[in-house]
Amino acid sequence: MSLQLLDYLFTIVHLLIIGANLFAWIWPKTRKIHLYIVGITLFCWLILGIWYGIGYCPVTDWQWDVKTKLGETNLPNSFVKYHLDKLMGKAIPDTTVDIITLGSFLIAIICSIKVNFFTKK
């Protein structure tokens, strides 16, 4: 498999994970799995983060290995920051990206808890 294809596939995986983290609580059929997905994400960010840095994502780690082999340098710690910078055409401050990412994630978790545990079925 070519490195470009692998980079593309990692981007798709990232986008699916982010989409699931933010929106899978919405549909009744995906609400329970949403709890598992955010649990895995929290485990990576906080538990693996003890060793690799808070907010650690193994998928980002693997994708950055590929991007490095493709010749990219000065990669940020965050997949979200990398793509926001590209989308905006300028460097967004790390703290701003972290606040947006964490805030969106926490809102999704609150919504998930509400629909999974406090909404009558």
Query: How confident is the prediction along the chain (121 residues), in pLDDT tens digits per residue?
Result: 899 999 999 999 999 999 999 999 999 999 999 999 999 999 999 999 999 999 999 999 999 999 999 999 999 999 999 999 999 999 999 999 999 999 999 999 999 999 999 988 6
Tokens at residue 81, please? Answer: 């920051």
Q: How many residues does the chain have?
A: 121
Tokens at residue 8, please? Answer: 């593309």
Please report which residue ranges of 1-121 form alpha helices under DSSP H: 3-23, 31-42, 49-52, 58-69, 79-88, 94-113
Neighbours of 5 (CB within 10 A): 10
Q: Which residue type, as a one-letter code, is found at position 21? A: N
